[in-house]
Amino acid sequence: MSRALALAHRLSGIALALFLPAHFYVLSRALELDAFLAWTEQPLVKLAEWGLVTLLALHLAGGLRVLALEFLPWRDWAKGLAALAAGFTVAAGLAFALAL
């Protein structure tokens, strides 16, 4: 479980790192925000947004797991953190999907 989460954590990190310059670029042109937001109404874009939110939640959850393992006193339940991280990711993705 931890191995799969670690791989997902890495892939989501790469995806987010590559996405950020585009994200920053769009926001810097905020004066044209309405035109851009009209474009984001398309279902495919909504799906991509949901994907990004899920990737971010996944990367956050996986990252918090690493910080917990490295800095908190070791406990046996530490082995269950991967499952907890996965659960949080699903919850966040669901929350965003429902909000849409």
- Residues lying near another protein in the complex (CB under 8 A) are found at 2-3, 6, 10, 13-14, 16-17, 20-21, 23-31, 33-34, 36-37, 53, 56-57, 60, 63-67, 69-71, 74, 78-79, 82, 92, 95-96, 99-100
Q: Smallest distance from the beta carbon of 81 to another protein, in angstroms?
A: 9
| Tokens coding 41 | 């109404």
Q: Smallest distance from the beta carbon of 70 to another protein, in angstroms?
A: 5
Q: Which one, of 79, 89, 94, 64, lies nearest residue 1 by Cα?
A: 79
CA angle 48, 50, 55 (to 5 degrees): 95
Q: Smallest distance from the beta carbon of 39 to another protein, in angstroms?
A: 12
Nearer to another protein by Cβ, of 10 and 48: the residue is 10
The backbone region for 19, taken as left when phi is positive above 0, alpha when psi lies in -120 to 50, beta otherwise, is alpha
